[in-house]
Structure 1
Amino acid sequence: MGDCQSLGDCSDERIARLYEYLDGALSVEDLKDVREHLEHCDDCTEEYDLECIIRSVVKRSCQEVAPDTLKTRIMTRISEIRVEVGHG
């Protein structure tokens, strides 16, 4: 397993395995291979770190709940639009 100078030096398959690694979709042997690669490839490590940040932000965003007042305003506006276009 050699060092990579840029993401261009890593195959698309290698990059795809980073996502599988994050998803927990690899065998024990493949997990070891990806971990070893990350120890030697700064660019893949940066890609991995960026994906971790993105996943964290998305997860946090998906846990936020809109206030009931906003939901009510949206539903009211939908009803108004339906009446305006003759569907209500």
Structure 2
Amino acid sequence: MPNKKSAAKRVLVAERNRLYNRFWKTRCKNAIKKVLEAVQSKDVDMAKKRLDEAQKVLDKAVVKGVIHRNTAARRKSGVAAKVHALVKGAQV
């Protein structure tokens, strides 16, 4: 239990931020999972569409300060590589 008024306020703020960050991190993970599901099912159009959505969600999470920009870039790059490999394989 906090002993000072300011410490009590920090407990409230920390909990609020924890819930906010959890919401955005979950949203990012779900967006990436949807892309990977589309890649696994070999649906090129759906994979491209979901890749755009996932990139948008990751960029928003960066702007909101939930994840670091390099983390978002790494995740976008990894997912994009899988989508591009699917597209390349579908063309051959």
Normalised to the residue count of structure 1, the TM-score between the two structures is: 0.38
Flag the structure with higher helix content: 2
Q: TM-score, normalised by structure 2?
A: 0.37
